[in-house]
Amino acid sequence: MTTPNLWGDLGEIKRIQTPKSVLQEQADYLNQATSGVIRAEIDDRTQGELLQFDLSLVAPALNNYRYTLLSVRHYVLPYPLEILDQTGPGLWIECDNEEDFMDVLKDVLGGERGQQVVSSLLSQSE
C-alpha cells in the first residue's frame, strides 16, 4: 500500500533571498567594477547544523592573495544570523532579519576599512 503525498503542493513553496545569495550579488558587483582585477569569492562550509559563508577578496596579480572581509553564519533558517566583520574588532554581530543584515553588510563593505582594503589590493595589482 502506498501512502499519499503529505508534503502538500511543493510547487507553491516561496523562494526567499538568502544571505548567501546577497553575498554572491555583492561579489558580482565588485567583480564587474574591478573587471576581475580583484575578485570577490564566497566560500561555504558547515559545522554541524550551522552554515557559514566567508566573503573573501582575491588578487590574482598578487599570487592569488586572499583577504577575508567577513563571515556570515546561521542555522537552516536564514535569520537570525551572525556576521563577523573581519576588518574591525573581530566580533560577531547578530542580525535578527534581512534589514539588519543589509545594514551591517553595507557598513562593512562600504565602510572606511573595507574601502581601504579594496583600494590597496587594486593599487598593488596594477
pLDDT tens digit sequence for 98-116? 999 999 999 999 999 999 9
**Number of domains forming the structure of the chain:** 1
Half-sphere exposure for 11 (CA within 13 Å, toward CB): 0
Within-domain flag for 35: yes
Within-domain flag for 21: yes
C-alpha cell belonging to residue 85: 566583520
Within-domain flag for 8: no
C-alpha cell belonging to residue 95: 542580525
pLDDT over 90 at 70, yes or no: yes
Within-domain flag for 48: yes
DSSP H stretches of helix in 43-126: 98-110, 112-125
DSSP H stretches of helix in 3-51: 19-33
Domain that holds residue 44: 15-125
User: Over the stretch 85-96, which tens digit does the pLDDT of each residue have?
Assistant: 998 888 999 999
pTM score: 0.90
Distance between CA atoms of residues 111 and 101, nearest Å: 15
CA distances (Å), 78 to each of 23, 55, 67, 69, 81, in order? 13, 17, 25, 20, 6
Within-domain flag for 118: yes
